[in-house]
Each structure stands twice: as structure tokens, then as C-alpha cells.
Amino acid sequence: MADLSVQESENNITLNITQAYLNILMNEENLISLENVLKTTQTQLKQGDQLYKAGSLSKLNYLQIQSQVAQDQYNLTSAQNNLRTNIVNLKQILQLPTNYDFQIVKPDSIIVDNQLKPLQDVQSLAQNQRPEVKYGELNVENSNTSLKMAQASIQPTLSVVGNISTNYSNGSGSYFNQLGNNFYMPIGLSLGIPLYNNRIYKTQIEKSKIAIEQANLDLQNTKTVLNQQIEQSYINLQNAVSQYDSASKQMNISKQSYDIVNAQMKIGSIDYVQLQQQRLLYIQSIQNYLQAKYTAVLNKQIYEFYAGNPINLK
């Protein structure tokens, strides 16, 4: 039972490490996106500077572009801070020293897999493999053993007693003759019937029966909670995959729209407000996409982990 408790703790630590690792990957990908956005706004600022000096751009729009560059730099700095925080979080989970130079190894690619195993199959596999269920089963077995021990306390006991001895006295004959003549071997039986403590023993038996019922209830509750967790993981995975598909389409459309508006801004066919609106939509679509992507990947790993499959992001 102690070994199974360790296994359950290992499973929890594994999922914590996986989530922390995916948070780092998401932040790194977000960092790249924000760097690209900043490069775009910096290019817009250079163009705006030329237009402003030429008198083709109002001072208000020019200041708005400068403000946007500052905002993008702030967003990038915040993302860098989040990345450092997530790296420290993973280091602490792994209990690495503070001065340890820690870098993660990125997988070749992170793919959202929408192929789902049937819920009933995963639940069945988990019920047969998960350490918390096996722990509960052993707890029932342990309670039954305790009952047998308590029942044995009220049973009569029959004991066989005996010993072998001889002696020698100086001056009473030869040594070996005395040992043979004084050979003594008493054997007897001892019968013990518990009377005085019989009520105590019966109380222990009743407590043991209650413990068995409690162990069975705990086991049933563990199985029920496990099935509920797997079902929730299944629903979360379905929702995450659906959100990922929608977020992916939204990001692609927002990117195309932002590129078009940016090109129109260069030739002066639209004002800065329209560019700013489309830019904000594009940045938000990136955030939604990354969140949906890594949520789907994490939920898939958790769902597969319930089925007994190891965590594998490669």
C-alpha cells in the first residue's frame, strides 16, 4: 500500500511537470509572436517618422504609433517575465538548485491530435491500472485480514508444553550413568479459554466489520471519482480541440486582414485607427490560438495518461 501511495504521488508530479513544461513552450511561442508584432510596429514607426517629417502624417497619429511601439515593447517584456517565472516554477518542481543553468529541450513539433480513444475504454483501463484503485483494493484486503485476527482472539487455544532435562551430583556415581538415570522428559497440554476479555474481543470484531464496510465504500468512491475525472478530462479535451480549430481559423483570417490593412496604411488609403483596431484583433487571435493549442495538448496528455500511456510530446 505504501508503494502504491508513492506511485500515485509520482503520477501527480508527472502531470505537474508536464503542465509546467507546456507553459514554457507556450510562452516561448508567444514570445516569438510578440517579437514579430514589435518588428512590424517598429517598421510602421520608421515609415510614420518619414511621413510625419514630410507633413503627410498628423502629429496625433505619429504619437499613436510611438505609443503602440511602447505598448508592444511592454507586452514583450511581460512575456519574457512570464517565461522566466515558468522556468523557475519547473526548476522548483524538479528541485533543482537555484544556480543550476536550466534549459528545456523543445520537441520537434507540437501537434494537436484530435483522435480520441473511447471514454469507456479509458475508464476500464484506468480502473485496472491506476495505483489509487489498487490501493483501495489492498485496503479492503487488509481490513479483512484484521477481522480474521480479531476473530482469532476469541477462539480457545491449545498449547503443547514440554522439556527435556537431566542432572549430575558429585559423588553419586559416574557422570554418564547419572545423566542416563536422571533423564527427565515431561510433556503436557495447556488449554486457554478467553472469558474475562471476551467482550473486548467481540467489540474489536464489530469494529473490524465496520472497517471492512468503510474500506469498500472508500474503494467505490475512489472508482467513482476516477471515472468522473476521466469523463471531465474527455469533455475538456473535446472542448479544447474544438476551440483550437476555431482559434486557428480566426488567427489565419486576422493575420491576412492585418497584412492587408498594414499594406493599405503604407499607401495612406486608411487611417491609423483602423490599423490599430485590426492589430489588436490580430494579437488577441494569437493569444487565443496559443492558449487553445497548448490546452488541447495538455488535455490530450492527461487523457492518455489515464489510459496508462506515458507522457510523450515528441
Task: Report the chain's mean pLDDT, rounded to a whole number.
Answer: 86
Q: Evaluate if residue 249 carries a pLDDT over 90.
A: yes
Q: Evaluate if residue 116 carries a pLDDT over 90.
A: no
- Domain CATH number, residue 84: 1.20.1600.10
Angle, helix 119-129 to helix 131-152, in steps of 10 degrees: 40
Q: Do 39 and 135 share a domain, yes or no?
A: yes
Among 34-48, 197-211, 221-235, which stretch is predicted with the lowest mean pLDDT? 197-211
Q: Tell me the one-letter amino acid at 8.
A: E
Beta-bridge mates of residue 59: none
Does the residue 287 lie in any domain?
yes
Q: Do 278 and 245 share a domain, yes or no?
A: yes
User: Residue 271 has what DSSP assignment?
Assistant: -
pLDDT at 78: 94
CA dihedral 168, 169, 172, 174 (to 10 degrees): 40
Query: Binning pLDDT at 50, 70 and 90, where does residue 178 land?
Result: low
Query: Binning pLDDT at 50, 70 and 90, where does residue 53 land?
Result: confident
Q: What is the mean pLDDT of residues 252-261?
A: 89
Q: Do 162 and 301 share a domain, yes or no?
A: no
Q: How far apart are CA 48 and CA 211, in angstroms?
A: 78
Q: Do 43 and 108 share a domain, yes or no?
A: yes
Closest C-alpha among 15, 191, 25 to residue 111: 25
Q: Evaluate if residue 55 carries a pLDDT over 80.
A: yes
Beta-bridge mates of residue 159: 190
Does the residue 31 lie in any domain?
yes
pLDDT at 9: 92
The domain total for the chain is: 2
Q: Evaluate if residue 73 carries a pLDDT over 80.
A: yes
Q: Which long-range contacts (CB under 8 A, 24 or more apart) does 39-46 make?
A: 40/262, 41/65, 41/68, 41/69, 41/72, 41/279, 42/69, 44/68, 44/69, 44/262, 44/265, 44/275, 45/69
pLDDT at 51: 80
Q: Do 84 and 226 share a domain, yes or no?
A: yes
Q: Do 218 and 123 share a domain, yes or no?
A: yes
Q: Evaluate if residue 98 carries a pLDDT over 80.
A: yes
Q: How far apart are CA 223 and CA 8, in angstroms?
A: 14
Residues 6+ apart with CB under 8 A from 66: 45
Nine-digit cell string for 116: 480520441
Q: How far apart are CA 110 and CA 244, in angstroms?
A: 13
CA dihedral 87, 91, 97, 103 (to 10 degrees): -50
**Cβ–Cβ under 8 Å, residues 163 and 185:** yes
Q: What is the mean pLDDT of residues 278-291?
A: 89
pLDDT at 41: 87
Does the residue 311 lie in any domain?
no
**Cβ–Cβ under 8 Å, residues 149 and 260:** no
Print the domain residue range for 175.
157-193
User: Residue 311 has what DSSP assignment?
Assistant: P
Q: Evaluate if residue 214 carries a pLDDT over 90.
A: yes
Does the residue 314 lie in any domain?
no
What length is written for the chain? 314
Among 82-86, 158-162, 173-177, 194-198, which stretch is predicted with the lowest mean pLDDT? 194-198
H helices present in the chain, as ranges: 2-53, 59-93, 119-129, 131-152, 175-181, 198-266, 272-306
**Cβ–Cβ under 8 Å, residues 257 and 276:** no
Q: Do 161 and 235 share a domain, yes or no?
A: no
pLDDT at 171: 61
Q: Evaluate if residue 252 carries a pLDDT over 90.
A: yes
Q: How far apart are CA 59 and CA 281, in angstroms?
A: 25
Does the residue 312 lie in any domain?
no
In this structure, the number of other CB atoms found within 10 A of the CB of residue 112 comes to 17
Does the residue 16 lie in any domain?
yes
Q: Evaluate if residue 185 carries a pLDDT over 80.
A: no
* CA 232 to chain CA centroid, nearest Å: 15
Q: How far apart are CA 70 and CA 30, in angstroms?
A: 18
